[in-house]
Structure 1
Amino acid sequence: MDYVIGADIGTTSIKLVLYNTKGKVLGYVNNGYKLYQDAPGMAEEDPHEIYLAMLKGLHDLTSKVDNPSDIKGVSFSCAMHSLILLDKNHRPLTRALTWADNRAYKYADQLKHSDLGPKLYQATGTPIHPMTPLTKIMWFRNERPDLFKKAHWFVGLKEYIIYLLFGTLKEDYSIANATGMFNIHTMDWDPTALKVAGVKRDQLPELVDTTYQLKGLNSHVVKLTGLDPKMPFVIGASDGPLANLGVNAIQPGVLAITIGTSGAVRVITDKPKTDPKGRVFCYYLYHHMWVVGGPVNNGGIVFRWIRDQICGSEKVTAKELNMDPYDLLTKIASTVPAGSDGVICHPFLGGERAPIWDANARASFFGLTRQDGIPQMIRAALEGIVYNLFAVNKALEDVVGKPKSIQATGGFARSGLWRQMLADIFDQEVTIPKSFEGTALGAATLGMLSLGLIDNLGEVKNFVGTTRSLEPIKKNADVYKELIPIYLRLGKKLETEYKAIADFQREHHEG
């Protein structure tokens, strides 16, 4: 039997899944690591902690097979937008700044509202936002010139780990696409973006396709993991596009909606497409396969905030009942009708990416009366998460048209209330694929193609497994049709004040 490992390097953990060539899961490891948030806007990881977590995971999975040579390859997925500064000897000068690091907000805002901002977006397919390495490099150049001057290389997390594994710096088109410095029309680093960043082409890794194979594994890694030294690694792609592949949302018009800690709405097209209003991204996956969509910062993390900050007594009750607090909160929310009795939540606890791309965005509840309480607030927060995904989809429809079908995945899919809420708010049938760790499966499938173990990416349909579908409930959908325009209009009005309140909060914090 031949095996492939899909390795998904995420924001708080690395997930490694051992698959056979039929897509069956034969082993799973989830190794966590710390997200450092010691200062306002900071969100960093230690790349060596991630490297060690990966080595341990590879060792544990390799020990599950009788013959390590039966593992034909490891294929990577990685979270987008990370940045590490390296010195001339490839030693890190910084930790890895993740997509969630917002400290470059000032430079992103300046660039976004300059004449150059829209042109860069059209060239790169990456919205101007502090998540991008482009704006993070601008931040270093202006705020930490000492580190910027010492830096010889500017790389992402995947590229640095590949360097530790193979001693070479390579970057796949998909990860490069999300830096804000890669031109989606020339498939090369964009000269204008590099000039804006203040970096030279030879300070960035060599670009390769997503099926590129790395060979010559470091002997130290072989010793620690037990892997066959001749086994190739497939460089893979970024997590968003691979999530689409992993749930078999690769045909035009098939919308993939993911809600985990954060969330995303994405669809595949056969060529690069951008939005005149700059609301969606366009990222490369494979030949004639581009993923157009929008990521949101505020998914399940909002539900966690509700649990921890609003529902303290409910947490205690859940513990007394030996019940998952999320299950109890969902049960409480289900006692309130669709629309939360007119309470609307804009769930922007962590700023927001799509569709407004505003790091200054803040959360709010609107419509509260004396008759409302925790049940309405819980449901309104859950609805607000889905309203925002619906707003992303409306922007997406302007670029690629109305979706033919919806595939929904992520931790939220375990909740019957959320599943139905998604169908009702989108007023469309929603399908829940069974696939386990879809992003890792996407990485493994791309790896199988590179290694010649499958003929085309469409074979992922055989790996996903059975699915279940939900139809919208008409009376609920009708309520949401009344409330969504209010949500959208209110959001427009609030946008004009986000910067003012964010500036006040920063000044107050610094004081």
Structure 2
Amino acid sequence: MDSKKACILTINIGTSATKIIGFDYLGVEVIFKKGSYPTFHPHPDWSEQDPEQIFITIMFLLKGILNDASFYDKYFVQSIVLSSSMHSVLALDKSGNTLGNAVIWSDNRACEISTSLKGTELGDRIYKNTGTPIHAMSPLSKITWIRENEPEKFEKISRFVSLKEYVIYQLTGEFCVDYSIASATGLFNLDQLNWDADAMRFANLDTSYFSKPANIFHSDLKIKAPILNSLRLDKNTKLIMGSSDGCMASLSAGSMRSDQAVVSVTSSGAVRVFGQECLVDGKGSFFNYILEKGKYISGGPTNNGGVAFEWAARGLGNNYQDLPMEELLVKLYNETAKVKEGSEGLIFLPYLQGERAPIWNSSARGVYFGLNITHEPKHIIRATLEGILYEIYSIGRSIKSHRDFQTIHLNGYNAMNPLWSEIICDMYGLPASVSTYKHGPNMGAAMVGLTAMGVYESLEDSLQIAPEKIMKNPNRKKNKVYSKYYALFERLTQKLES
């Protein structure tokens, strides 16, 4: 082992896939593996995933890495750090067995429950305490739905965990959750760093149903001996709690300044800002997730990022249906680039999966407005892309009215695309830096892991390994066109609310 270099493995449990990336102690990627899995929609508005399939995928990827001679001969794994998407809920019985699939962030079955709670005195108090908007995405709403609609199942439940917690349990036999994932549940008090009493009363639960909260650097959990042996890992290999994918993606921007917004677009999307205090508007419009004490990542998420564009691509890319999705998207981007900004008056409201920020309406639906006889599929594709980004812009606009920012940073594989990044920069009318590394959550996890291992004294110090950036400046002429059509986008959203 003396001749090998130490490295850290980062596991990001995403919505459509898990990515495991190894980094050396200079922050350089040394190995990459990815495994995908499906999301199930057994009923309208339901979105579920199989936790066993996700864990098996993770183990398969780890096996592939640790049996890869080109990696194993050069590196040894000193630590593993985890990140994952937020808002998932999985019910376990008293033996730790799963009771059905995990309900994930895009599931809207609890819409009526969140609607009835939002705006009440109790709902306002829970939002103030937890920082999580009252919405169907929230585990608080999902758990309440299970209690009210599946009472026989509810009686068997001993614990609620996220998918990340379930993976940690399978690896260590312990139930533990990081502050960031906990703060996305709507059940976690940001000031007390523990489970919130008001949320517990609403859900009719006590704290025994939830994991022990820990900071993102926590590394006291021990990986089970059989798993260490199976993976050929050293017994001293540390498992570091890590954070949520959103927090990690924001860290990878390489700045923790409050005057910069981070715009991330993958299958979903978000606009986030750093701050020492929560972002509050009196309407419960913004999420506030804790990274560590005194460091908050606030903003708003959208349900309809790349997933909405791929939906349009499958439906309208008739000439290229024999191509894999990645090649299909390249062809459609080339077609889209030929259409002028504004799509000749065609507007798309991208609410295919309901919507979170800034309208927080699970019942919202997609609309094409302004179709005329001269529009071709390329106009519809362009309007789809612009509609998704009008929504992203609307989140940033609502944030900017409460916390000013002067620049934006773009990451996530869609936001980094040259066409997407150009449109985002022009819509915002602000200078933009674009990451050159598309696996932001894994890079952020490496920053947390290397800080936990003592390679860096603080997260601020770890920012030095952030990926290089490409700088963009907005086109003022195009910004005026987008501003004109955004006003129509906003009016349509408001008028169709009822």
- The one of 138, 147, 172 aligned to 2:153: 147
Equivalenced residues, count: 492
Q: CA deviation at 1:6?
A: 1.0
Q: Does 1:27 align with 2:69?
A: no
Match of 2:333 in 1: 330
Name the SS of the counterpart of 1:324 in structure 2. Answer: helix
- 15 and 323 in structure 1: CA distance in 2 versus 1, 3 angstrom threshold: closer
Q: In structure 2, what residue type is equivalent to 1:82?
A: S
Q: Distance in 1 between matches of 2:392 and 2:285?
A: 12
Q: Does 1:107 align with 2:113?
A: yes
Contact 2:81 2:241 in 1 (8 A): yes
Q: CA deviation at 1:299?
A: 0.8
Q: Does 1:291 align with 2:307?
A: no
Contact 1:69 1:231 in 2 (8 A): no
Q: Distance in 2 between matches of 1:429 and 1:448?
A: 30
- The one of 253, 259, 273 aligned to 2:259: 253
Q: Distance in 1 between matches of 2:247 and 2:120?
A: 29
Q: CA deviation at 1:43?
A: 1.3
Q: Distance in 2 between matches of 1:189 and 1:67?
A: 45
**Where do 1:314-463 residues align within 5 Å?**
314-315=320-321, 324-401=327-404, 403-413=405-415, 415-463=417-465
- 62 and 274 in structure 1: CA distance in 2 versus 1, 3 angstrom threshold: farther
Match of 1:78 in 2: 84
Q: Mind listing any 5+ residue stretches in structure 1 that lack a counterpart?
A: 497-511
Q: Does 1:87 align with 2:93?
A: yes
Name the SS of the counterpart of 2:409 in structure 1. Answer: strand
Q: Distance in 2 between matches of 1:60 and 1:313?
A: 37
- The one of 130, 133, 139 aligned to 1:133: 139
Name the SS of the counterpart of 1:295 in structure 2. Answer: strand
Match of 1:8 in 2: 12
Q: Distance in 2 between matches of 1:57 and 1:465?
A: 24
Name the SS of the counterpart of 2:167 in structure 1. Answer: helix
Q: CA deviation at 1:387?
A: 0.6
Q: CA deviation at 1:157?
A: 1.2
Q: Distance in 2 between matches of 1:245 and 1:63?
A: 31
- 68 and 148 in structure 1: CA distance in 2 versus 1, 3 angstrom threshold: farther
Name the SS of the counterpart of 1:355 in structure 2. Answer: coil
Match of 2:268 in 1: 262
Q: Does 1:279 align with 2:293?
A: no
Name the SS of the counterpart of 1:217 in structure 2. Answer: coil
Q: Which of the pair is proportionally richer in helix?
A: 1
Q: Distance in 2 between matches of 1:330 and 1:436?
A: 18
Q: CA deviation at 1:38?
A: 2.1
Name the SS of the counterpart of 2:464 in structure 1. Answer: helix
Contact 1:112 1:128 in 2 (8 A): yes
Q: CA deviation at 1:436?
A: 4.2
Deviation string for 1:113-170 (max 9, x for gaps)? Answer: 4332222212111011111110111111110001111111111111121111111111
- 445 and 303 in structure 1: CA distance in 2 versus 1, 3 angstrom threshold: same
**Where do 1:200-211 residues align within 5 Å?**
200-211=206-217
Contact 1:344 1:384 in 2 (8 A): yes
Name the SS of the counterpart of 2:374 in structure 1. Answer: coil
Name the SS of the counterpart of 2:371 in structure 1. Answer: coil
Q: CA RMSD in A?
A: 1.9
Q: Distance in 2 between matches of 1:69 and 1:330?
A: 40
Q: Distance in 2 between matches of 1:323 and 1:80?
A: 26
Contact 2:174 2:221 in 1 (8 A): no
Q: CA deviation at 1:59?
A: 2.3
Q: Distance in 2 between matches of 1:220 and 1:63?
A: 16
Q: In structure 2, what residue type is equivalent to 1:368?
A: L
Contact 1:77 1:239 in 2 (8 A): yes
Name the SS of the counterpart of 1:5 in structure 2. Answer: strand
Match of 2:56 in 1: 52
Name the SS of the counterpart of 2:454 in structure 1. Answer: coil
- 67 and 336 in structure 1: CA distance in 2 versus 1, 3 angstrom threshold: closer
Q: Distance in 1 between matches of 2:469 and 2:30?
A: 20
Deviation string for 1:424-446 (max 9, x for gaps)? Answer: 11111111112341101111210
Q: CA deviation at 1:60?
A: 2.4
Deviation string for 1:164-222 (max 9, x for gaps)? Answer: 11111111111110000011122211101011111111111111111111332112211
Contact 1:134 1:179 in 2 (8 A): yes
Q: Distance in 1 between matches of 2:410 and 2:487?
A: 23
Contact 2:91 2:161 in 1 (8 A): yes
Q: Distance in 2 between matches of 1:376 and 1:460?
A: 44
Match of 2:124 in 1: 118
> For structure 1, which segment, 174-183 or 451-460, has the greater mean C-alpha deviation from structure 2 after superposition?
451-460
Contact 1:55 1:224 in 2 (8 A): no
Q: Distance in 2 between matches of 1:262 and 1:273?
A: 21
Q: Distance in 1 between matches of 2:238 and 2:53?
A: 23
> For structure 1, which segment, 130-139 or 107-116, has the greater mean C-alpha deviation from structure 2 after superposition?
107-116
Match of 1:502 in 2: none
Name the SS of the counterpart of 1:306 in structure 2. Answer: helix
Q: Distance in 1 between matches of 2:176 and 2:190?
A: 18
**Where do 1:123-272 residues align within 5 Å?**
123-272=129-278
- Percent identity over the alignment? 30
Contact 2:6 2:77 in 1 (8 A): yes
- The one of 307, 313, 327 aligned to 2:319: 313
Q: Distance in 2 between matches of 1:442 and 1:323?
A: 25
Match of 2:466 in 1: 464
Q: CA deviation at 1:288?
A: 2.3
Q: Distance in 1 between matches of 2:495 and 2:121?
A: 25
Q: Distance in 2 between matches of 1:106 and 1:371?
A: 41
Q: In structure 1, what residue type is equivalent to 2:350?
A: P
Q: Distance in 1 between matches of 2:43 and 2:401?
A: 38
Q: CA deviation at 1:68?
A: 9.5
Q: Distance in 2 between matches of 1:357 and 1:293?
A: 13
Q: In structure 2, what residue type is equivalent to 1:35?
A: T
Q: Mind listing any 5+ residue stretches in structure 2 that lack a counterpart?
A: none
Q: Distance in 2 between matches of 1:32 and 1:310?
A: 25
Match of 1:505 in 2: none
Q: Distance in 2 between matches of 1:372 and 1:12?
A: 33
Q: In structure 1, what residue type is equivalent to 2:8?
A: V
Q: Distance in 1 between matches of 2:158 and 2:312?
A: 44
Q: CA deviation at 1:303?
A: 1.3
